[in-house]
């Protein structure tokens, strides 16, 4: 087995890297152990978190950092203790690359690895051996095989990539909160996460899917994705009143501290739930306790899912023909891609293609 490949990728050196200033350099991955897998990366989705991290938006980032956590490629080296993956498998890894996996960990032993107190992010974090984690805007990735999932045959690599973070981030709250026949779902924001929220809600056979956005620009696309209704909150007067009490579950993918949260809550029926997945760089807008008390409603949050959840979602997507709307960009143009992402131009997810590796 050829193990003399070098780990090189797009590195952000400081907060200004987000403006299109990542540099292509070598980096030192964690030392390989028998529980690890090396992936030759062919595709990597561009996620909003990549932007927040390059910019140190949520907290200071640990530079140099290599972002990208919607990684798909081929397993080229598999540690002896890894049983779920073989060399040559088409595989992926999302936003989490490790947890403690101990039997006395309440979360890991309950299939909630993504809530383990020793959660390790795929980039901008550290493994327990103190080595840094690096993401997928690169040629190769190395990490624990327990967090590597097989990509089902029914999905192309470009389609599978965004599901590994964006997809699971909307699929989990839909599934965990009963989205399905009889339910009316609202999806706030029609972007990378939001468009997948619409596609998955339809695939889960919800009675009605309502796309909620600021302007009508995305209405046509939302309908093509399967939305039954569309609310343009900057354009429809008194929308909160006319659509009041019409939704059982809302998944909110937007992350502006100015979002009209009180009005969104009006859309919920009795005992309805509002699940926030987009993470603002500031506090959520304040709201009155009565908004929750009067209708027995709840506001929750959700992030990604466990490896088992991700595997289930990928199989579901393949079976139900859930096809993310991706736009392929060359990995060589990653800097331009992140600038375009920040400008809101993606329709609806950029996937960086490592052309050299994809030519296998």
Partner 1 sequence: MSSDHKFEGWCGLDKDSVKGQMKWQPYDPKPFTDTDVEIRISHCGICASDLHTLRSGWGQTPYPCVVGHEIVGRAVRVGAAVTHIQPGDRVGVGAQSGSCLRPECEECASGIENHCQVSNTNTYAGFFPDGSKSYGGYADYSRVPGHFVIRIPEALDSAAAAPMLCGGITVYSPLKREGCGPGKRVGIVGLGGLGHFGVLFAKALGADEVTVISRSSAKKEDAMRLGADKFIATNEEADWADKYALSLDLIISTVSSPDMPLEGYLGLLRVRGTFIQVGAPEDKLPGFLAFALIVKGCKIGGSAIGSPKEIQEMLHLAVEKKIEPWIQERPLKDANQAVVDMNNGKARFRYVLRNEKHEA
Of the two residues 88 and 111, which places its CB atom closer to partner 1 in the complex?
A: 111
The DSSP bridge pattern shows strands 120-121 and 349-353 to be unpaired
Give the one residue of 28, 83, 109, 270 binding partner 1; rule: CB under 8 A: 270
Is 286 a binding residue for partner 1 by CB under 8 A? The answer is yes
Of the two residues 49 and 335, which places its CB atom closer to partner 1 in the complex?
A: 49
Is 192 a binding residue for partner 1 by CB under 8 A? The answer is no
Is 13 a binding residue for partner 1 by CB under 8 A? The answer is no
- Give CA–CA dist 313/142, Å, rounded: 23
Interface with partner 1 in residues 236-255 (CB under 8 A) = 245, 255
Which span (28-36, 194-202, 272-280, 311-319) binds partner 1, by CB under 8 A?
Answer: 272-280
Is 303 a binding residue for partner 1 by CB under 8 A? The answer is yes
Give the one residue of 301, 319, 328, 345 binding partner 1; rule: CB under 8 A: 301
- Give CA–CA dist 205/180, Å, rounded: 5
Give the one residue of 292, 315, 320, 347 binding partner 1; rule: CB under 8 A: 292
Give the one residue of 13, 115, 118, 208 binding partner 1; rule: CB under 8 A: 115
Is 293 a binding residue for partner 1 by CB under 8 A? The answer is yes
Cβ neighbors of 59 (< 8 A, separation 6 or more) are: none
- Cβ distance 125 to 111 under 8 Å? no
- Give CA–CA dist 127/4, Å, rounded: 23
Cβ neighbors of 264 (< 8 A, separation 6 or more) are: 186, 188, 212, 240, 250, 252, 274
Which span (22-30, 142-150, 280-288, 308-316) binds partner 1, by CB under 8 A?
Answer: 280-288
Is 290 a binding residue for partner 1 by CB under 8 A? The answer is yes
Give the one residue of 294, 308, 323, 330 binding partner 1; rule: CB under 8 A: 294
The string of DSSP letters for 298-351 reads EEEE-----HHHHHHHHHHHHHHT----EEEEEGGGHHHHHHHHHTT--SSEEE
> DSSP character for 12?
B
The count of chain residues that interact with partner 1, using the rule CB under 8 A, is 38
Of the two residues 271 and 330, which places its CB atom closer to partner 1 in the complex?
A: 271
> DSSP character for 260?
-
Is 7 a binding residue for partner 1 by CB under 8 A? The answer is no
Q: Minimal distance in Å, beta carbon 170 to partner 1?
A: 13
Is 360 a binding residue for partner 1 by CB under 8 A? The answer is no
Distance separating the N- and C-terminal Cα atoms of the chain: 16
Which span (130-138, 287-295, 314-322, 331-339) binds partner 1, by CB under 8 A?
Answer: 287-295
Alpha carbons within 13 A on the beta-carbon side of 234: 9
Which span (77-85, 212-220, 297-305, 348-356) binds partner 1, by CB under 8 A?
Answer: 297-305
Is 298 a binding residue for partner 1 by CB under 8 A? The answer is yes
Helix (H/G/I), strand (E/B), else coil: 353: strand
Binding mask 89-108 for partner 1 (x = CB under 8 A): -----------------xx-
Is 208 a binding residue for partner 1 by CB under 8 A? The answer is no
Nearest-CA neighbor of 134 among 249, 30, 2, 25? 30
Reported as type and span, the H/E element at residue 176 is helix 168-176
Of the two residues 47 and 72, which places its CB atom closer to partner 1 in the complex?
A: 47
- Cβ distance 267 to 295 under 8 Å? no
Dihedrals phi, psi of 172, to nearest 5 degrees:
-55, -55
The radius of gyration of the chain's CA atoms, rounded to the nearest angstrom, is 20
Of the two residues 116 and 148, which places its CB atom closer to partner 1 in the complex?
A: 116
Tokens of 196: 């997948």
Q: Minimal distance in Å, beta carbon 55 to partner 1?
A: 16
Other Cβ atoms less than 10 A from the Cβ of 123: the count is 27
Q: Minimal distance in Å, beta carbon 309 to partner 1?
A: 12
Q: Which residues bind partner 1 (CB under 8 A)?
A: 58, 106-107, 112, 115, 117, 245, 255, 270-271, 273, 276-280, 282-303
């Amino acid at each position: 087995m050829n193990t003399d490949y070098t780990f090189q990728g797009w590195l952000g050196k400081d907060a200004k890297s987000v403006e299109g200033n990542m540099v292509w350099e070598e980096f030192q991955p964690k030392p390989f152990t028998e529980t690890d897998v090396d992936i030759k990366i062919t595709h990597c989705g561009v996620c909003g978190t990549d932007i927040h991290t390059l910019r140190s938006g949520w907290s200071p980032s640990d530079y140099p950092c290599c972002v990208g956590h919607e990684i798909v490629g081929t397993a080229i080296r598999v540690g002896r203790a890894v049983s779920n993956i073989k060399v040559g498998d088409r595989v992926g890894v999302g936003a989490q690359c490790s947890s403690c996996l101990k039997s006395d960990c309440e979360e890991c032993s309950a299939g909630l690895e993504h809530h383990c107190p020793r959660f390790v992010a795929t980039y901008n974090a550290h493994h327990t051996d103190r080595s840094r984690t690096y993401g997928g805007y690169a040629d190769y990735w190395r990490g624990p095989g327990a967090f590597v999932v097989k990509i089902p045959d029914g999905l192309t690599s470009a389609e599978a990539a965004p599901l590994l973070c964006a997809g699971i981030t909307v699929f989990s709250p839909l599934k965990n909160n009963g989205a399905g026949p009889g339910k009316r779902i609202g999806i706030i924001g029609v972007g990378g996460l939001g468009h997948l929220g619409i596609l998955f809600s339809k695939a889960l056979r919800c009675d009605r899917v309502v796309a909620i956005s600021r302007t009508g620009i995305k209405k046509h696309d939302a309908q093509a994705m399967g939305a039954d209704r569309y609310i343009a909150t900057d354009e429809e007067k008194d929308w909160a009143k006319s659509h009041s009490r019409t939704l059982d579950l809302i998944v909110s993918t937007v992350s502006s501290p100015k979002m009209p949260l009180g009005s969104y809550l009006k859309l919920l029926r009795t005992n309805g739930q509002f699940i926030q997945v987009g993470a603002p760089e500031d506090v959520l807008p304040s709201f009155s306790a009565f908004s929750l008390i009067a209708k027995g409603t709840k506001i929750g949050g959700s992030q990604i899912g466990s490896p088992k959840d991700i595997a289930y979602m990928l199989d579901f997507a393949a079976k139900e023909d859930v096809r993310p709307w991706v736009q392929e960009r060359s990995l060589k143009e990653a800097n331009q891609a992140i600038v375009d992402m920040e400008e809101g131009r993606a329709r609806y997810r950029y996937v960086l293609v490592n052309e050299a590796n994809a030519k296998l």
